[in-house]
């Protein structure tokens, strides 16, 4: 067994495990710190930062805390914390924003998935199921950890030089994307912007319904589809949502930019490029305002999906 799975190719088991990890992460974010199942023997250290698992008959979910499996657990997931396995874990061990350590003599029967950390196995031959895999993405460890310890920070980010630099890079990135798409497909972007201007309520309504539908489809696909389809179908849906988000944000930026240019810039200074820049800067600022950015992001996603659903509309959406 290759201890670190190749992340460049498609592997149905790995993709299914990653989708499952994302779903469990969402559940953990909503539930906080909990242990699922009956008869779980769990204690915490004096500082309250570490869960000690003696015996848990089903999966243990931890938010913002480290986990040490002394004897047995069915499965373990931590968001923003490390996992140390000293005993036996029957199923998967996964963490976002932490690392996994497998002590010598410990057994992990399922996959090991680490996002934002490392996997350390003590001993020359760690006890693992040869049919299972190890997937490690060593990115954004501190960010995940910080969010897990202080979830409210996502709604009110600190105004730091790093925050400002990220927004400047975001402006450059979205300006290039928006300028490129409007150059490649000016008609498609213009029609999408016009559809939103003429029927924003309908676009948002369809978009919210579409988001709810796709969310349900992802959950049902991951839970009930057989084999590789349980991983492939949700990933395809997420990828399509990502493409819709890019196109939708571009259309909203063009629409907002034209609105700002019409009311703020003299006629002799107006241009398509300036409108794009104004729209990109405007939406970047909106998405940077504490608390407001969460609502704005939902609007962008809903509008993006709604614009996709109305892409083939006829006369009701045409400009006069």
DSSP annotation string for the chain: --SS--SSS--HHHHHHHHHHHHHHHHHHHH-SEE-SSS-EEEE-TTS-EEEEEEEEEEEEEESSEEEEEEEEEEEEEESS-EEESSEESS-EEEESS-EEE-TT-EE-S-EEEESS-EEE-SSS-EE-TT--EEEE---HHHHHHHHH-GGGGTS----HHHHHHHHHHHHHHHHHHHHHHHH-HHHHHHHHHHHHH-HHHHHHHHHHHHHHHHHHHHHHHHHS-TTHHHHHHHHHHHHHHHHHHHHHHHHHHHHHHHHHHHHS-GGG--HHHHHHHHHHHHHHHTTSTTHHHHHHHHHHHHHHHHHHTTT--GGGS--
Residue 7 lies in a domain: no
**Residue 35 pLDDT more than 50?**
no
Looking at the structure, do residues 130 and 171 belong to the same domain, yes or no? no
Domain stop point among 101, 126, 149: 149
127 CB burial (10 A radius; 0-12, 13-18, 19+): middle
pLDDT number for residue 36 = 46
pLDDT number for residue 58 = 72
pLDDT number for residue 123 = 76
**Residue 65 pLDDT more than 90?**
no
Q: What is the pLDDT of residues 247-256, one digit of tens each?
A: 999 999 999 9
Most confident of 3-17, 28-42, 72-86: 72-86
Terminal C-alpha separation, the chain: 64
Residue 2 lies in a domain: no
Residue 4 lies in a domain: no
pLDDT number for residue 64 = 77
Least confident of 171-180, 251-260, 291-300: 291-300
Q: What is the pLDDT of residues 143-156, one digit of tens each?
A: 676 766 666 666 66
Looking at the structure, do residues 213 and 107 belong to the same domain, yes or no? no
Looking at the structure, do residues 283 and 312 belong to the same domain, yes or no? yes
Looking at the structure, do residues 144 and 196 belong to the same domain, yes or no? no
**Residue 33 pLDDT more than 50?**
no
Residue 202 lies in a domain: yes
User: To the nearest whole percent, how much of the chain has pLDDT over 70?
Assistant: 78
Looking at the structure, do residues 111 and 185 belong to the same domain, yes or no? no
Between the CA of residue 315 and those of 196, 303, 310, what are the distances in Å? Answer: 14, 20, 11
pLDDT higher at 182 or 17: 182
**Residue 242 pLDDT more than 60?**
yes
**pTM attached to this predicted model:** 0.63
Looking at the structure, do residues 267 and 164 belong to the same domain, yes or no? yes
Domain stop point among 115, 149, 183: 149
Looking at the structure, do residues 302 and 208 belong to the same domain, yes or no? yes
Looking at the structure, do residues 139 and 214 belong to the same domain, yes or no? no
Residue 54 lies in a domain: yes
Looking at the structure, do residues 69 and 202 belong to the same domain, yes or no? no
**Residue 67 pLDDT more than 50?**
yes
d(CA 41, CA 48): 16
Residue 124 CA neighbour count, 13 Å, CB half: 0
Residue 211 lies in a domain: yes
Domain that holds residue 235: 159-317
Residue 6 lies in a domain: no
* Average pLDDT of the residues in 254-281: 91
Looking at the structure, do residues 309 and 182 belong to the same domain, yes or no? yes
User: To the nearest whole percent, how much of the chain has pLDDT over 90?
Assistant: 27
Least confident of 98-107, 185-194, 217-226, 297-306: 217-226
d(CA 275, CA 283): 12
* Average pLDDT of the residues in 109-130: 85
Domain stop point among 124, 149, 174: 149
**Residue 26 pLDDT more than 70?**
no
The answer to whether residues 112 and 94 touch, using CB atoms and an 8 Å cutoff, is yes
Sort strands 112-115 and 134-137 into parallel, antiparallel or unpaired: parallel
Quickly tell me which residue has 């920070």 as its tokens.
153
**Closest among 172, 310, 306, 187 to 245, alpha carbons compared:** 306
pLDDT higher at 243 or 80: 243
pLDDT number for residue 311 = 78
**Residue 312 pLDDT more than 80?**
no
The answer to whether residues 301 and 314 touch, using CB atoms and an 8 Å cutoff, is no
pLDDT number for residue 139 = 65
Provide the number of structural domains found in the chain. Answer: 2
**Residue 210 pLDDT more than 70?**
yes
d(CA 82, CA 73): 15
């Amino acid at each position: 067994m290759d201890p670190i799975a190749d992340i460049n190719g498609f592997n149905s088991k790995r993709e299914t495990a990653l989708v499952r990890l994302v779903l469990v992460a969402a559940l953990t974010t909503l539930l906080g710190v909990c242990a699922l199942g009956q008869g779980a023997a769990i204690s915490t250290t004096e500082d309250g930062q570490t869960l000690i698992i003696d015996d848990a008959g089903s999966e243990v979910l931890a938010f913002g805390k480290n986990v040490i499996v002394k004897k047995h657990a069915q499965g373990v997931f931590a968001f923003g914390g490390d996992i140390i396995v000293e005993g036996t874990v029957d199923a998967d061990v996964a963490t976002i924003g932490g690392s996994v350590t497998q002590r010598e003599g410990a057994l992990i029967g399922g996959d090991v998935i680490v996002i934002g950390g490392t996997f350390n196995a003590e001993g020359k031959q760690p006890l693992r199921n040869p049919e299972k895999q190890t997937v490690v993405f060593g990115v954004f460890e501190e960010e995940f950890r910080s969010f897990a310890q202080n979830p409210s920070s996502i709604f009110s980010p600190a105004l730091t030089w790093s925050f400002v630099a990220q927004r400047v890079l975001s402006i450059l990135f979205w300006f290039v994307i928006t300028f490129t798409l409007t150059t490649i497909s000016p008609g498609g972007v213009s029609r999408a912007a016009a559809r939103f201007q003429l029927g924003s309520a309908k676009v948002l309504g369809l978009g919210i319904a579409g988001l709810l539908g796709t969310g349900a489809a992802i959950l049902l696909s991951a839970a009930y589809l057989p084999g590789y389809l349980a991983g492939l179908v949700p990933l395809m849906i997420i990828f399509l949502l990502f493409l819709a988000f890019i196109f939708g944000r571009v259309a909203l930026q063009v629409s907002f930019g034209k609105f700002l240019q019409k009311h703020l810039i003299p006629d002799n200074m107006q241009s398509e490029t300036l409108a794009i820049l104004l729209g990109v800067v405007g939406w970047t600022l909106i998405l940077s305002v504490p608390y407001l950015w969460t609502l704005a992001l939902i609007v962008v996603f809903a509008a993006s999906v709604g614009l996709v659903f109305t892409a083939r509309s006829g006369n009701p959406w045409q400009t006069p």
